[in-house]
Structure 1
Amino acid sequence: MIALFDTHLHLVDRERIHYPWLKDVPALDRDWTLADYQSTARRIGIEGALHMEVDCDPADIAKENAWVADMMAQDGSLIRGAISSARPEDDGFEAFPDTLDRSVVKGIRRVLHVVPDEVSTSNRFRANVGRMGAHGLPFDICMLARQLDLAAALVDACPDTTFVMDHCGVPDIAAGAFDDWAAAVSRLAERPNVNAKISGITAYAAPDWTLDSLRPYAEHVIGCFGWDRVVWGSDSPVCTLNSSLDQWVAVTRALLSEVSETEARALASGNARRIWGL
């Protein structure tokens, strides 16, 4: 069995860190612990993980990264680093990368579907994301399918930065939306500094989803980006809105069972280790 590296794990500690958005998603509004995740992950062949920021209160960004460092230091921890929250739209952001513990923080993300589209098109935002290339910090693109052309414009403004498109570009699988999303993914994939994350797309499917209902979306992304520019992520616990972690892993293994071992290992872990320098 090929081991998986999880590039998209969310953990939650509500006593330590404030997450304003959680109150609007009751199914997720609880603590999600490393111990619980590892109990399942080890059983289903997950060998390591990057903690993905959980859109905490901006005042708690450093606190969240410090918490990840604490978890990394635990005996037998699967956590290999953090993708930090960031606010590239803020005045003074130029100093932010120098505040990061680079033994912990491997990349950054700004959730962009919760703010006006104009945030990602501002000169300040683009200049600051463009500087991430020199710092060796990949930027995760967290945008909806309708925003993928905005993502392409951001990438074009930042040619020296490595990007990772989260969640297959967030297709509306439940509604059967495919053509417009697929065309936008194809356009974004033309940029060689963009990678794609096959992560937790059960959350965007109908409750009665099957492998066959998810397959066209995952296969289209892989076909556009190629096996050398795709990584895997659980998006746990968001994936639990419509599945379980082990069900999403089962989908992944079913898809990988049909490809070569070289291709499977690239998506499962190899590309992630290269992109984030793990």
Structure 2
Amino acid sequence: MIDTHVHFWNFDPVRDGWISEDMNAIRKDFAPKNLIRVYSELQISGCIAVQASQSEEENEFLLTLAEQNDIIKGIVGWIDLKNPNLTGRLNYWNNFKKIKGWRHVLQAESSEFILDPNFISGIKQLEDYGYTYDLLCYHNQLTDIIKMVDQIPDQPFVLDHCGKPDIKNKDLKAWSENIKTLAQNPNVLCKVSGLLAEADWKNWKETEIFNCFDVIFENFGTKRVMYGSDWPVMLISRPYQDWFYLVNKYVARFSDEEKKLIFSDNAKAFYNI
């Protein structure tokens, strides 16, 4: 089994300002060694390490961790897709085969950024290298994401955290409609990850999470969904095992072959691991 979404960091209160005071559980360092015991317990063989800082130094940091820890099977790094010398930077990073794709924290950006022709042009270059692209956005940005993705039909995309639905306020109508539209693009996959952070951290109900899963699986199907934890961010709500068992409870309705797609095969094919 592959966990397609984890982060590692040496906590810096300035750089990691998004980790607010009420997220005290994750205001500290997180390294691969912190995952080994739980992965062994749950028989998870490895993970995809996803960028948490927007600098090329983050790529170096994750590559160093990957050299030292076999559980890191691939890296989703960061690169400036608007860089006039993007080709040069892509050529450089293409030497490091553990880097499978790229991500920008679009949830912090405006419509103008997401739909900037220079940004879209940058994503279009990724196909030449076989790179994937992780889409990180809030539910209210999905209309812009759809417009952007429609312009790049051959680029492999994956939607992180189901597009961050507004579970806490129980407002899923527009999100559900946009997920249906986005999923009509066969080049877009979805990670079932990160939903605990979008709910009431301590008081969410199983049905609230499963309602979101219903929408995702109805539209993406088992061939375009992959398991992810969003560790350690999800620790603001529950221990790792709670999320893993919650996903397993939901997917119990599927065949063994479909479960293998969700927990392993889709990730291996998408990230080429």
TM-score, normalised to structure 2's length? 0.93
What residue in structure 2 maps to residue 19 of structure 1?
15
What residue in structure 2 maps to residue 265 of structure 1?
260
Deviates more, 1:39-48 or 1:177-186: 39-48
What residue in structure 2 maps to residue 223 of structure 1?
218
Q: Deviations over 1:185-215 (max 9, x none)?
A: 0000011111111012111112222322210
C-alpha separation between the residues in 2 aligned to 1:226 and 1:258? Answer: 13
Offset of residue 232 of structure 1: 1.0
Letter in 1 for 2:140: R
Secondary structure (helix, strand or coil) at the match of 1:73 reads helix
Check if 1:5 corresponds to 2:11: no
Q: Deviations over 1:122-167 (max 9, x none)?
A: 1110011011112111110001101111111111111221100010
Offset of residue 23 of structure 1: 5.5
Q: Deviations over 1:10-36 (max 9, x none)?
A: 011247x97343453552221011111
Question: Which runs of 5 or more structure 2 residues have no equivalent in the other structure?
Answer: none
TM-score, normalised to structure 1's length? 0.91
What residue in structure 1 maps to residue 50 of structure 2?
52
What residue in structure 2 maps to residue 214 of structure 1?
209
Check if 1:90 corresponds to 2:83: yes
Aligned-pair identity in percent equals 23
Question: Which runs of 5 or more structure 1 residues have no equivalent in the other structure?
Answer: none
Equivalent positions of 1:21-40 (< 5 A) are 21-22=17-18, 24-25=20-21, 26-27=23-24, 28-40=26-38
Secondary structure (helix, strand or coil) at the match of 1:106 reads strand
C-alpha separation between the residues in 2 aligned to 1:259 and 1:167? Answer: 21
What residue in structure 2 maps to residue 161 of structure 1?
155
Q: Where has structure 1 moved over 4 Å in runs of 4 or more?
A: none
C-alpha separation between the residues in 2 aligned to 1:161 and 1:138? Answer: 7
What residue in structure 2 maps to residue 274 of structure 1?
269
Letter in 1 for 2:64: D
Letter in 1 for 2:75: A
C-alpha separation between the residues in 1 aligned to 2:78 and 2:268? Answer: 20
Letter in 2 for 1:237: P
Equivalent positions of 1:1-150 (< 5 A) are 4-14=1-11, 19-22=15-18, 24-25=20-21, 26-27=23-24, 28-56=26-54, 58=55, 61=56, 63-74=57-68, 77-100=70-93, 101-150=95-144
C-alpha separation between the residues in 1 aligned to 2:230 and 2:28? Answer: 16
- Kept after mapping to 2: 8 A contact 1:140/1:163: yes
Number of aligned residues: 269
C-alpha separation between the residues in 1 aligned to 2:45 and 2:14? Answer: 29
- Kept after mapping to 2: 8 A contact 1:7/1:49: yes
